Structures are given as C-alpha cells and as structure tokens.
Amino acid sequence: EPWEVIKIKFITDYNLHTLSEQTSDNLEFNYIDIGSVEYGKGIISSQKYEFSSAPSRARRIVNNNDIILSTVRTYLRAITIIKNIKELTIVSTGFITLTPNSNNINHNYLYYSLLSEYFVSAVEANSFGIAYPSITNYDVLKLKILLPPLSEQQAVANYLDDKCAQIDAVIADKQAQLETLAAYKKSFIYEYVTGKKSVPGFEEA
C-alpha cells in the first residue's frame, strides 16, 4: 500500500549540464560513449580527449550518482550509475542523464529500478526504428517506476548491492574457468592435429 507508481519526470532532472561550443579547445576530459557501457557491468572503458579533438557527441557533463541511459541503440541496454569519478567526465548525447531531484528518492534504488527487466523492456517497447532503435527523452521521462518509502528504498538498494556483488563474484570465477577450459581445448586440438600426441589405442599400420 505505501508504494507509489510514479513517472521518472517527477523525481529527476535530466541533462542538467552540457559543454558549450565556446569551451576551450584544450579542456581535457574522460569520455564515455554508448559502447563503453555494458548492461549489468556498468562502465567498461573510457577515452581521454581534449575538446578540440573530441567527437561531436561528447557534450553531456555527469557527476557522481547521476544515472545515464542510452536513448539510441536501446537494444544494448546501456544503463549505469556514475560512481567514484574524480575528474571531468563527459558522456555522449546518445545518453539521457538523470539526476535525482527529491529527498524522497534514493539514487541507488533508482538505478536498480531503471536496470530492472520491466523498465528496460518498457524502454525497448517505446523505441522506434529497426536497425537503429531509439527513444526520445520525453518518452523516457514518461515511463514509471514503483517507489516505496525512502527507508525501504535504502533497504532494497543495500540488499541488492550485497547480493549483486556476490553474484558478480561467482560470474567472474566461472568466466575464469571458462577461459581456462577454452585455452585447454585449443591446446588439445593443436597437439593432436600436429602429431605431438597420438590418439589413445591407435596403432599405426
């Protein structure tokens, strides 16, 4: 009963800060584009640029606790929260940047809500275009999330931080095992097709 259904536009500001065309050519910053964000993993890479040589899309300024969500190539589900940045960071205008604007919203809870399957499915359902699907900022802001009381938001966010960290650790361990097995498979094939090892039980005529 205390949970609300609320539109994103009522609890966030969007695209608050942008580099102007009058920005100094030698301003240096870290740049994050759509391909730099992976669903469930967050930011996996960034590039250093000076303004004069940066892509034309490098315009949106982000700060810690902002959430960025790709409005182009929405099938990539490029969504993450900005954490632990200590220098100027710019993201592509292909992202909408969302900044919680209310004391009644926990930024981590908001991030998990936007990362949830029901929300990303809603983004995809409201996208247009086949080869290069996109969604307008206006349509993103119209989408809704469930909003419990603040204390419950904090509890949910803390619990998910802990559990997702545990799951990520298991995934990383399994990935390492898969990479080891893949390397072993390549070595195994190589040794037998080059004659370095013989097939067990095979007797040369």
Residues sharing a CB contact under 8 Å with residue 123, sequence separation 6 or more, in sequence order: 69, 74, 77, 135, 140, 143
Asked if 1 and 143 touch (Cβ cutoff 8 Å), the reply is no
Q: State pTM to two decimals.
A: 0.83
pLDDT, tens digit, 9 for 90 and up, residues 29-60: 999 999 999 988 899 999 999 999 999 999 99
**Token digits of residue 166:** 């545990």
Q: Residue 38's closest CA among 60, 10, 83, 68?
A: 68
pLDDT, tens digit, 9 for 90 and up, residues 138-175: 999 999 999 999 999 999 999 999 998 898 889 889 98
